Amino acid sequence: MIKFPYGISDFHKIMTEDYFYVDRTDRIPVIEDTRHTLLFLRPRRFGKSLLLSMLENYYDVAKLDQFEVMFGGLDIGQDPTPLCNQYYVMRWDFSAVDPQGGTGQIRRVLHQHINDAISEFQARYQSRLQYEIKISAENAHSSFHSLLTAVKMSPHRLYLFIDEYDNFANEVLISDKSRYKALVQGEGALKSIFKMVKFGLSGQGLDRVFIAGVSPIALSDMTSGFNIATNIYLDPKFNDLCGFTESEIMPILQTIVKRCGLGSDKADEALSVMRAYYNSFRFSYYDETHIYNPTLVLYFLDTFQNTCRYPDELLDENLAMDRSKLRYIAGLPEGGQLLLDLLNDNDPLTIYKLSRRFGVEDVLHERKDRMFMGSLLYYFGILTLVGYSPMKRTILRIPNQVARGLYLERIQKMILPESDHASQAQVAGDSLYLKGDMQLVCDFIENSYYHVFSNRDYRWANELTVKTLFLTVLYNDMLYSIESEPALQRRYADLAMIRRPDAWDQPFFDVLIEFKYVKLKRDGKAELSLSQDAVRNMSYDELFSLKSVQEKLASARPALANYAAVLQQKYGDGLHLRRFTVVSIGFERLVWEETTN
């Protein structure tokens, strides 16, 4: 059995207890040659802590006798750099700093965390130091100064690792902007800590600093206190510094498939599922390699190995905290509209540039435009880079199906905040999955979503809007691979719901849907010269018989037949496909037709 280090970020434990590890030690020389003070950003649960742990163990002067055990079988073990095992190392992990309470309490907890790290440092290295470190219980600045004095009087220097540097700044920003301002402006606690680090780098015994975090929030406000870090998070040399590539995952899947006694084609099948749900992160404009989220990959592999089945729920709940970031964006002016627009795969978000800094004035007072919101969603890992447009604008999109599910969940709660609507939507979706009955889904959307739309919502009314609403009802990653606008031999269907490979033997239908939209008078250039009230009061049969509706239905039939033929060729007799056209008449009524020939 392969020991997967799911939830483990201790490099020493991974290497000495024979856990699975993807080697990134070949980047150590590149990191050394870049600069002495580095800032590296990646989304939550993307392997940053393990990266720092690996670097700590490599540079730690106290780990020299364990070098061969930990690094002998890795790339760097064949040709270590001269700085190997030449530093005292210390780590601050700000994810351990509770963001709750007032700024005074946060300051105390922050200083206590640093003092604890200095105490650990003292216990580890005191025998190597000539000067005793004096720890001030109320003042971590004084403690750190004492540590630097001890370091300067020894033959080695300090390498400081700061993990999740922005953790409590992110949390405070979303929950309480006034506390955030107090933390980073003036002599705020966070700003003063980084001024202290900057002092240490000025020949005071601190030689190198590696800072990891999620976003550049607070950097602008700390500039006067700490303006010397080199940002490497968009550097193509470090695009895959954290995370897995497809070529690294496939051999593991082949091993698991063999041990489970499954057919060799199961490895390709499993990779196709992982590709849809976990792949497509990209962190450089100039390196197009797509990266898999490592936490989700290990979650999948561990479950697959132990049960010989894929996980039922493909979203690991360890990443569920990303929901709070989407809730924050949805609450901003224009934020809800942005979330809806992002689900249009044919028109990805294009912004002037990726914001590198978010200052307190931006956060508190400036308009939260699409550049601000798109950049924030990128850093949080809910959007990813596509690259540059011809005009050198930044293009962003939703990376994969796990992230898409979070968007759909937020949109449903944004439009229908009452919790009982989720269960009603589930009942409606089940009627389609099990019975091929579209009517209950249409009824739910008509009576729930359409009922609450305000006048301003008509400005974005189109087929994409209707499709998005259906996706919020139908998305179910336990049963289906649901793709919006899947490519079918260079032709496109609006929505294809195909049973997951591990649900292929279940009595559910595969579903293909085309969406059409009929504009009413108020929608600009009308396709139907009827008012909202008139449409609301017409019977279903009267609506279905309207010329504009019949034209929309007729235009969809050949396309559905073509898409169905491609899917039938791909999946064979196991495909249980039902084909539908749904026509939305304004945002008032829905009619539908099932195509059977």
404 belongs to a structural domain: no
Our CA dihedral for 342, 346, 347, 350, rounded to 10 degrees, sits at 90
195 belongs to a structural domain: yes
487 belongs to a structural domain: yes
187 with 259, same domain: the answer is no
43 with 146, same domain: the answer is yes
26 with 90, same domain: the answer is yes
119 with 199, same domain: the answer is yes
116 with 265, same domain: the answer is no
Nearest Cα neighbor of 295 from 273, 318, 275, 279 is 318
CB atoms < 10 A from the CB of 200, how many?
A: 20
345 belongs to a structural domain: no
140 with 266, same domain: the answer is no
476 DSSP 8-state letter:
-
24 with 120, same domain: the answer is yes
Nearest Cα neighbor of 405 from 329, 337, 499, 326 is 326
391 belongs to a structural domain: no
Domain that holds residue 44: 11-238
63 with 206, same domain: the answer is yes
385: left (phi over 0), alpha (psi -120 to 50) or beta: beta
Per-residue pLDDT of the chain (597 residues; tens, 9 = 90+): 899 999 999 999 999 999 999 999 999 999 999 999 999 999 988 999 999 999 999 999 999 999 999 999 999 999 999 999 999 999 999 888 877 777 788 788 889 999 999 999 999 999 999 999 999 988 999 999 999 999 999 999 999 999 998 886 676 666 666 666 666 665 677 788 888 999 999 999 999 999 999 888 767 666 555 678 899 999 999 999 999 999 999 999 999 999 999 998 999 999 999 998 998 899 999 999 999 999 999 999 999 999 999 998 887 776 665 688 888 888 888 888 899 889 887 789 999 999 877 765 666 666 788 998 999 899 989 999 999 999 999 999 999 988 998 999 898 888 887 767 778 888 999 999 999 999 999 999 998 888 776 444 545 567 788 898 999 999 988 899 876 555 555 456 789 999 998 888 889 999 999 999 998 876 556 788 888 888 899 999 999 999 999 999 999 999 999 899 888 888 888 899 999 999 999 888 999 999 987
518 belongs to a structural domain: yes
CA distance 319 to 45: 7
Nearest Cα neighbor of 409 from 495, 346, 319, 473 is 473
Nearest Cα neighbor of 111 from 181, 192, 177 is 192
169 with 23, same domain: the answer is yes
Work out how many domains the chain is built from and give that number: 3
This prediction's pTM: 0.91
CA distance 341 to 376: 16
CA distance 440 to 424: 10
252 with 200, same domain: the answer is no
User: Nearest 5°: CA angle at 441, between 437 and 443?
Assistant: 110
